[in-house]
């Protein structure tokens, strides 16, 4: 398999980071430990397998955060809890973030010398950000 690249998570790129990290963890068959709590009653090989997957997922996530973010999560050793903490830090104050994302999309303008393909990609990225915050953007709204 080719090398997977996930952008380093910074204070400004959570949504694209989460999208790519989820894809990378899914390809490595590790996202299940982020989606689900540790099953009750695991023993022997099943417990060992779950622990290995959890440790691997935690490592991948921690290695992909910026230095400024790393210390916030240094002591977390459960993949699901780590993922939820990161998510809550960036999607907290959801109503404010929805308003900001909606305004950002509505105020989007083509920059001087910008290729139309880059402009469309920025618009779609903002629409994805809005959707992840629970703000539905129709194709018609995006076109406008």
pLDDT tens digits for range 21-71? 999 999 999 999 999 888 888 889 888 898 999 999 999 999 999 888 888
Cβ atoms within 10 Å, residue 18: 18
Angle at 22 between CA 86 and CA 46, to 5 degrees: 95
Q: H helices within the chain, ranges in order?
A: 14-27, 32-35, 44-63, 67-70, 79-91, 94-106, 116-132, 139-143
Enter the tokens of residue 144. 């406008």
- How much is the pTM? 0.66
């Amino acid at each position: 398999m080719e090398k997977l690249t996930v952008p380093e998570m910074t204070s400004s790129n959570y949504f694209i980071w989460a999208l790519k990290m989820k894809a990378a963890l899914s390809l490595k068959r590790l996202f299940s430990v982020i989606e689900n709590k540790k099953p009750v009653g695991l023993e022997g090989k099943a417990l060992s397998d779950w622990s290995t997957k959890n440790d691997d997922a935690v490592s991948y996530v921690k290695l992909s955060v910026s230095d400024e973010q790393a210390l916030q999560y240094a002591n977390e050793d459960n993949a699901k809890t780590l993922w939820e903490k990161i998510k809550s830090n960036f999607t907290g104050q959801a109503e404010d973030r929805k308003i900001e994302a909606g305004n950002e999309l509505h105020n989007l303008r083509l920059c001087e010398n910008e290729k139309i393909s880059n402009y469309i990609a920025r618009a779609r990225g903002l629409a994805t950000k809005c959707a992840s915050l629970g703000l539905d953007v129709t194709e018609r709204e995006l076109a406008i």
